[in-house]
Amino acid sequence: MTFAHEAEPARELAPPRGSIAEAAETPVGWPLPTRWVDHLLLDSTGTTFTYWGSVALVVGGLFATKILPCVDYPQHLALSDIARRLADPNAPERNQFQLNYFTYNGLFHVVVAVLSSILPVELAGRLVLAASLIATAGAVVALVRVMRRPAAHALLFVPILFSFSVGWGFVNYVLATAVAAWTLVLIARVAIRPTPLAVFAIAALGVACAFAHVLAMLILCAFAAALATEASWRSESTTVERPWRTLRILARVAAAVAPLLLGCIYCIQVYERQYVWDPKMYRDATIEGSSSPPWEKIVYFGAFATGLYRDGTDQIVLWGALVIMGWAGMLAWKRRNVWDHAREATPAVVAPLAVMGLAYFATPMVLVGTHLIFPRLSQWAVMGGVLAMPRILETATATAARAWMTRLSLAAAVNTFAHCALFGWETRDASRLLDDLPAHRSATAVIWDPDTLTYRNGPLTHLAAYYAARKHGLWAFAFARYLSVPVRFKANSQPPWPAKGWEFSAEDYDPRCKYARAFPVVIIKAPDDLPRDTGGEPAVRRLVFKQDATAVKLLSHHGRYWAFDTAGLPDDGTY
């Protein structure tokens, strides 16, 4: 076995002479990147282009389809459009909706609402989501650089950049993740070398993260405590006497983490206010605290971390990245008894991984009335793994590992882009149908088979919300019913809620119930076993409208997608 001190490292692993990457390897003090652009550069030109090219492909997938494969995204997009319309003092929406900016689920809506005053709302939402992914990818590189880990390790984060949270359309959380990740970069810098400006920036970003999403704020606090402690401890000079060294470490940790208290106080104040509004909102009486057993969280980590593509290829690529991390750990364990000078000059950063791993296993699926919680922590666990991955010192092995990191990064990016493009091809008829519909109406969606051939988890469930955003109308089952979002229904302004909803069950649609009558435009995705051509119209009418099959007006038809106007139907339904 050959070690780095016995032979020259592989050319791909050696940073250019005089570069910042080379300075970061110098075991004198703790050098930090001097320019902000240096935080975004990897250890070679080729690796930098590979990483950012991969990120560009992932983000490009968002622009390869007119309807995004993100389940809840259209709901938040439509709310953002309502927020923009409410800026007009004469807007009719003011009779039904109100704005509440004192929330911890609002940054995405506010940013998109502002942008949509000068851009189409769909483009504004896409740009904010794309910027969130780019910012998160940049923060991962910056963290690796500040903590003096091999920059190429950041390539292993690309397979989870388009994560479980993105696929589910948790856009406030995704934006908050980007804010939290860059806050961690500043926290690491302050823990190593405090400056007043950086401390102030941590406080400001912490409040922004709190305004974006409360769960991201909780994760930020946990990750920050671990990161700041280890960064301060590792960067402190060992020549300082122990009592003073301990005090200096604690002082830098406090300077890095204490500014987050402002964001924490903000979240507590929002919680106290919203709890008074509706205490039941913060508890699911049936499955509160439920979760998968630990063995399932390990075996199905790929599904919890991504689990978006029907073919499972996203999970395969992610597991490949995890195998490389484990491989590096195994090699480090084997060489644990070699002479000290054969070890890394800058040891792996393990505290964030330990904290995020523990949080992943300890957090339930349903917490404080909110579903799908612990899978969101998987991305943070992988980020911790990137920091904790030991440097591979064996020359030949390191070269092979670098090659596989590059392949996995590119494979994940191409895979994401391809699936988004295929999803766009699959849903082109749905987009055409929305384009045909009249504007400023009220719509509902009756969707059979909300999954597609490329994406699972029902990305077409909220198709009516896409109509509301694109055509500036209203939609059924709007998220405005939740008190935690900034755009909310006014008291007693919602249509009468159905006793049996059809948001997730198309078979339960009753065209005559009072809730259905409030949304006369009906968007339909027909079941697979119904004819798709114009000859299938009678079957669709009978299936959806039953005795009123001949009383509704066809608005548009493309493939399996149909739209009818049901204005004028009676409201004597059974629920």
- Say how many domains are in the chain: 2
| CA 399 – CA 249 distance, rounded (Å) | 36
Q: How far is CA 98 from the centre of its chain?
A: 27
How many CB atoms sit inside 10 A of residue 204's CB? Answer: 14
Q: Does one domain contain both 498 and 409? A: no
pLDDT value of position 313 = 96
How many Å apart are CA 35 and CA 570, to the nearest integer?
67
CA distances from 363 to 106, 164, 358, 366, 377 (A): 24, 16, 8, 8, 9
* Residues 434 and 393 occupy one common structural domain: no
Q: Could you say which of 397, 421, 445 is where a domain stops?
A: 421
* Tokens encoding 468: 């509301």
Q: Final residue of a domain: which of 399, 421, 443? A: 421
Out of 391, 421, 451, pick the residue that ends a domain: 421
Structural domain includes residue 85: no
Residue 3 within a domain = no
pLDDT at res. 201: 97
Q: Are residues 483 and 389 in the same domain?
A: no
Distance CA(252)–CA(154), nearest Å, equals: 26
Rounded to whole angstroms, the Cα distance separating 244 from 417 reads 53
- State whether 152 and 218 are in the same domain: yes
Paired tokens of 183: 């806050």
Strands 487-489 and 561-565: unpaired
Question: If you write DSSP's letter for every residue of 223-270 in order, what string do you get?
Answer: HHHHHHHHHHHHHS-TTS-HHHHHHHHHHHHHHHHGGGHHHHHHHHHH
Residues 271 and 387 in one domain: yes
**What pLDDT tens digit does each residue of the chain (575 aa) get?**
333 333 333 333 434 333 433 333 333 468 889 888 999 999 999 999 999 999 999 999 999 999 999 999 999 999 999 999 999 999 999 999 999 999 999 999 999 999 999 999 999 999 999 999 999 999 999 999 999 999 999 999 999 999 999 999 999 999 999 999 999 999 999 999 999 999 999 999 999 999 999 999 999 999 999 999 999 998 876 666 677 888 988 999 999 999 999 999 999 999 998 888 877 777 776 788 888 899 999 999 999 999 899 999 999 999 999 999 999 999 888 877 544 444 566 788 999 999 999 999 999 998 877 888 999 999 999 999 999 999 988 888 889 999 999 999 999 999 999 999 999 999 999 999 999 999 999 999 999 999 999 999 999 999 999 999 999 999 999 999 998 899 999 988 988 889 889 999 999 999 999 999 999 999 999 998 887 666 689 999 999 999 999 999 999 999 999 999 999 999 887 77
Residues 483 and 382 in one domain: no
State the pLDDT at residue 341: 42
- Domain region containing 534: 427-565
Q: What pLDDT does 13 receive?
A: 41
Domain membership of residue 24 (yes or no) is no
Based on the domain organization, do 325 and 247 belong to the same domain?
A: yes
pLDDT number for residue 1: 33
Indicate if 536 and 410 belong to the same structural domain. Answer: no
Phi, psi of 56 (to 5 degrees): -60, -40
Same domain, yes or no, for 327 and 347? yes
Is 191 within a domain?
A: yes
Residues 328 and 312 in one domain: yes
234 and 197 share one domain: yes
